[in-house]
Chains A and B, each alone.
Chain A
């Protein structure tokens, strides 16, 4: 099979490191991909403007899970400002998959959730 299903990705898909839900998170939200009905729950633990922990959960496809796990791996330990800078191009480069246009939406579901969560978190602080 080609790069979309590389064996190391298969391992992540079967047991993603950042799957789960944080108890008493600083912020949490749910985001849906209307195209396929995938549902992602994202929770963040933030302290002194640093993302100390992040977890995702939900019913998701292979590409959504890979996108979410890579993204959370990237943001844990980063400041809010650094996390906000991560855009679609950055994430797609991280996961390094040859995706069709329709599946870019799967890969970036977690990113959209993160961006919404960060702005919602900022609103609670202001």
Chain B
């Protein structure tokens, strides 16, 4: 539909790529961007995929070393992509680490990781449903979630809960999660977000449920 109107399709895939098998050609997107730190790579590295025809047409957004074919006083010929977009000193360590992270995830197998996190989502959703005053944000079932659940507790501030849980070695994000209007539309304050991945186990979530109950009793 985007293409029918002559527009380009840009996908922010940072949230999907660690969890789902992504095929940019099947998606037929023009751009697909993701960051490394959501898939076990360090911060400061990411990928911007674009179709070859678009990359050929695009001009560099940044100038610097290593991006030209030739320069004279009145003319410049840029190097072919990707070099023309890689001005200056590249983040070599980040690139190597991202490649290692991708190899690592593929070796384990994305399908296996996916099954693991769906099982964790199911466990967490069931557990949260049994704690009084907890309200889960969104209706998505375990199989529709990419390893996270946002929720809030009636009458207890999300930041107070996240501080309490942090002291029990449980790291949850508290706040609006870059979606303030969505929170306003639900007429609630900040929410808590539990996110988990291949390195988490049911034991971690069990600890969350126990300590969350303790925190609610404490403030209640």
Contacts and interface: CB of A to CB of B under 8 A. Distances in A.
Interface string A91-113: 00000000010010010000000
Contact of B218 (A2, A5, A63): A5
A117 interface: no
B174 interface: yes
A34 to B, nearest CB: 8
A37 B182 CA distance: 12
Interface residues of A, number: 16
A59 B156 CA distance: 10
Interface of A: 1-2, 4-5, 35-38, 59-63, 100, 103, 106
Contacts of A61: 157-160
Q: Which of B159, B167, B174 gathers the greatest number of chain A CB atoms within 10 Å? A: B159
Contact of B158 (A1, A5, A36, A60): A36
A10 B190 CA distance: 21
A4 B165 CA distance: 13
Contacts of B196: none
Contacts of B157: 36, 38, 60-62
Interface of B: 157-160, 163-164, 167, 174-176, 180, 183, 189-190, 218-219
Contacts, number: 41
A36 B167 contact: no
B167 A1 contact: yes
B175 A36 contact: yes
Given A36-B158, A61-B157, A2 B167 contact: yes
A106 B157 CA distance: 12
B214 to A, nearest CB: 10
A103 B161 CA distance: 12
A62 B160 contact: yes
11 contacts: A1-B218, A4-B163, A36-B189, A37-B183, A37-B190, A38-B157, A59-B189, A60-B157, A62-B160, A103-B159, A106-B159
